[in-house]
Each structure stands twice: as structure tokens, then as C-alpha cells.
């Protein structure tokens, strides 16, 4: 598990397993901007290149936030809403570019 610390001083850090599935229901909206890119980075370092981000259907605000975030990340190859079997409008599949071998060497040397 990896500590993805929140930006809130009143909330202790959360150990979040890096499994390729990120459920945003338990996070505050102000945490999403740093949480999603960091989670995707950690997935990519572990070779997890398909990630399901669960944002729920709700009003669509969280969905728009997630899609705006991933659209500007260079490590994202593509993204789209999930099929009905995987959450439909309530989840987004994010496909990541693999690490280049030079990048991978730097990451594993940490």
C-alpha cells in the first residue's frame, strides 16, 4: 500500500492500495486535483496501464473534473467512460503510456 497524503491537515494520510482502481467516493473534492495524477503515476510505475477511476454518476461535476485532469496529463494515452459492466457513466477508464526504459530505470532505482 502507498501513502497518498491528503492536502488536509485535519485528516490523517490514507494508505491506498495501488490496484488499478481508484474509487473517489471517499475523497473530498479538493483532494481530487492532486490524488488522481499521483495515483496514475504510481500505477504507471508499477506497470498498471489501465486504470478505472470511479467517480459516480451524480451531477456530473466529478466526472468532468476527472476528465479535465486526465486530458492534460502527458502520460495518459486515452480515456473514456466505462462500459455498463464496469460502471458506465459512473467510471472512466484511463489508459497510460508505458514507461520508457530510461524512465523505468530511474523509478526502480529509488
Q: Nearest 5°: CA angle at 65, between 69 and 57?
A: 130
Q: Which of 34, 27, 23 is nearest to 92 (CA)?
A: 23
92 close to 63: Cβ distance less than 8 angstroms: yes
Q: Which of 42, 11, 12 is nearest to 21 (CA)?
A: 42
Higher pLDDT, 6 or 31: 31
pLDDT tens digit sequence for 21-80: 999 998 998 999 999 999 999 999 999 999 999 999 988 889 999 999 999 999 999 999
pTM of structure: 0.80
Q: Which of 65, 59, 55 is nearest to 27 (CA)?
A: 55
pLDDT band at residue 12, thresholds of 50, 70 and 90?
A: low
What local confidence, expressed as pLDDT, does residue 100 receive? 83
Cell of 50: 489501465
What local confidence, expressed as pLDDT, does residue 101 receive? 55
Residues 6 or more apart in contact with residue 49 via CB below 8 angstroms: 43, 77, 95, 96, 97, 98
Cell of 73: 496529463
Amino acid at each position: 500500500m502507498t501513502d497518498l497524503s491528503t492536502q488536509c491537515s485535519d485528516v490523517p494520510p490514507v494508505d491506498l492500495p495501488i490496484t488499478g482502481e481508484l474509487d473517489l467516493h471517499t475523497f473530498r473534492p479538493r483532494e481530487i486535483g492532486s490524488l488522481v495524477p499521483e495515483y496514475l503515476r504510481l500505477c504507471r510505475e508499477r506497470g498498471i496501464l489501465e486504470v478505472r477511476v470511479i467517480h459516480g454518476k451524480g451531477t456530473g461535476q466529478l466526472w468532468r473534473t476527472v476528465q479535465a485532469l486526465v486530458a492534460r496529463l502527458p502520460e495518459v494515452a486515452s480515456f473514456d467512460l466505462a462500459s455498463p459492466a464496469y460502471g458506465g457513466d459512473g467510471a472512466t477508464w484511463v489508459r497510460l503510456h508505458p514507461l520508457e526504459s530510461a524512465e523505468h530505470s530511474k523509478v526502480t532505482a529509488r
